Amino acid sequence: MDWNLIGSIFWKFSLGVSLLALTALAGYLCAAVGSLRNSLNSIRNTLNSVENMVNQEIGELITDVDKTVKEVNEELPQLLQNLNGLTASLQGISESEIQPTVHNIQEMSSALNQSIQQLEELVQKVSGFSGQTIEQATFFRNQIAVSLADIVSLWQGIKAGWDSFAAGQSRDSEEDTPTSDAPNE
């Protein structure tokens, strides 16, 4: 019994089993990466949809509120001017009866100004919230893209290692092929 032949058969059998296991592992990794890729695509699509929806809805709301504030701001000076003229006329008619009414009108004007200022602050807060929401969505989308790039790089490294290993094995098998080792008689 030739121990070299037994050793060679054992080595080749072990290598074959190892290659089958490695092939199964590679298949599993491919399936896992494919599944992860599908999940990441789904998340990216969802984030894009949410971003678009937020942009549309909040953009329309901001536009409407801004338009309303501008209209109120345009009409407010005229309203105040009319109130001042009315106050002067009423003061001329009856100083004692109109004075409390004038005071109430001034308080209402002040309250209206405060409400307009609060409305403008609300518009600014909504604008800031929209910007932060878009920044957060972009940040998460970018984080997912970096993770996907890392997975692809890992796969390319494994593939390059496998190709190098396979090339080395084909060279070793060429060197192990017997060439006229029998002695000449």
For residue range 53-85, what is the model confidence (pLDDT) as tens digits?
A: 888 888 888 888 888 888 888 887 888 888 888
Q: Is the pLDDT of residue 2 over 50?
A: yes
pLDDT value of position 22: 93
pLDDT in tens, 100-156: 776 777 888 888 888 888 878 877 887 777 778 778 777 777 777 777 777 788 888
- Distance between CA atoms of 99 and 103, rounded to whole angstroms? 6
- Distance between CA atoms of 55 and 84, rounded to whole angstroms? 43
Q: Is the pLDDT of residue 182 over 50?
A: no
Structure tokens at 170: 């084909």
Q: pTM here?
A: 0.30
Kindly state the average pLDDT of the residues 80-102.
Answer: 73
- Distance between CA atoms of 137 and 110, rounded to whole angstroms? 40
Nearest to 25, CA basis, from 151, 160, 169, 162: 162
Structure tokens at 179: 């060439």
Q: Is the pLDDT of residue 185 over 50?
A: no
Residues 6+ away with beta carbon under 8 Å from 102: 87, 90, 91
pLDDT value of position 99: 65
How far, CA to CA in Å, does 97 sit from each of 46, 47, 103, 108, 128? 65, 63, 11, 18, 48
- Distance between CA atoms of 143 and 146, rounded to whole angstroms? 5
How far, CA to CA in Å, does 168 sit from each of 7, 100, 172, 177? 20, 101, 6, 15
Q: Is the pLDDT of residue 180 over 60?
A: no
